């Protein structure tokens, strides 16, 4: 654990999170500034700054949980695709984003942007009560998957 790492603190239960899954190696929780409802972060409990630092077995474990959660999100949100990607640009702790894709632009790419210069803004923070309800539904579905 790294003392000043936000995701290390959530994984160690030192900070609150809307937890969907946890085991001895990984934790999955809802993003508080989701792109779409159900936007989930999957993080290793141990601190790795970059995706390519993850031991292959740990990366496989994250991917496997991502596949299970993707099946749940497809059922729950009625989508055909669920995005799964590692970014690491906001929090320097290897983490996967998982989110139901309602539109191809839910994961932004220059391919979809016509303007030369664009301005990005943070997505709004979702109230804890809404996140708690979303987490409850996803946990129930995951338990039955």
Helix 56-77 vs helix 128-144: crossing angle, to nearest 10: 100
Residue 65 lies in a domain: yes
* Range(s) of the domain holding residue 121: 6-139
Question: What integer pLDDT is reported at residue 112 of this predicted model?
Answer: 60
Question: What integer pLDDT is reported at residue 39 of this predicted model?
Answer: 95
What φ, ψ does residue 102 adopt, rounded to 5°?
-90, -20
Question: What integer pLDDT is reported at residue 81 of this predicted model?
Answer: 95
Q: Return the exposure string of 95-114: e unless at least 16 CB atoms fall within 10 Å of the residue's CB, then b.
A: bbbbbbbeeeeebeeeeeee
Residue 100 lies in a domain: yes
Look up 47 and say whether it is catalytic. no
Question: What integer pLDDT is reported at residue 28 of this predicted model?
Answer: 98
Active-site residue, selected from the candidate residues 21, 95, 97, 102: 95
Q: Tell me: the pLDDT tens digits for 78-92?
A: 999 999 999 767 889
102/89 Cα distance (integer angstroms): 23
Question: What integer pLDDT is reported at residue 130 of this predicted model?
Answer: 93
| CATH number for the domain harbouring residue 133 | 3.30.428.10
How many domains is the chain partitioned into structurally?
Answer: 1
Question: What integer pLDDT is reported at residue 111 of this predicted model?
Answer: 58
Residue 80, by phi and psi: left (phi above 0), alpha (psi -120 to 50) or beta?
alpha
Residue 30 lies in a domain: yes
Residue 145 lies in a domain: no
Question: What integer pLDDT is reported at residue 63 of this predicted model?
Answer: 98
Question: What integer pLDDT is reported at residue 46 of this predicted model?
Answer: 96
**Contact predicate 107/83, CB 8 Å:** yes
What φ, ψ does residue 75 adopt, rounded to 5°?
-65, -50
81, β-bridge pairs: 101
Residue 1 lies in a domain: no
Question: What integer pLDDT is reported at residue 110 of this predicted model?
Answer: 62
Instruction: Give me the tens of pLDDT residue by residue for the chain, a chain 145 residues long.
Output: 788 999 999 999 999 999 999 999 999 999 999 989 999 999 999 999 999 999 999 999 999 999 999 999 999 999 999 999 997 678 899 999 999 999 887 776 665 667 777 777 777 898 999 999 999 999 999 998 6
């Amino acid at each position: 654990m790294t003392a000043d790492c936000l995701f290390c603190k959530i994984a160690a239960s030192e900070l609150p999170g809307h937890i969907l899954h946890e085991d001895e190696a990984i934790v999955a929780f809802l993003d508080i500034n989701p792109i779409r409802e159900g936007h989930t972060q999957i993080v290793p409990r141990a601190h790795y700054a970059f995706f390519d630092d993850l031991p292959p077995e740990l990366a496989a474990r994250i991917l496997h949980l991502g596949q299970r959660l993707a099946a749940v999100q497809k059922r729950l949100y009625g989508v055909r695709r669920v995005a799964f990607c590692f970014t690491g640009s906001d929090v320097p702790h290897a983490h996967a984003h998982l989110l139901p894709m309602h539109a191809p632009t839910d994961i932004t790419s220059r391919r979809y942007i016509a303007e030369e210069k664009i301005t990005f803004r943070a997505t709004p923070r979702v109230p804890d009560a809404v996140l708690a309800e979303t987490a409850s539904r996803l946990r129930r579905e995951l338990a039955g998957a």
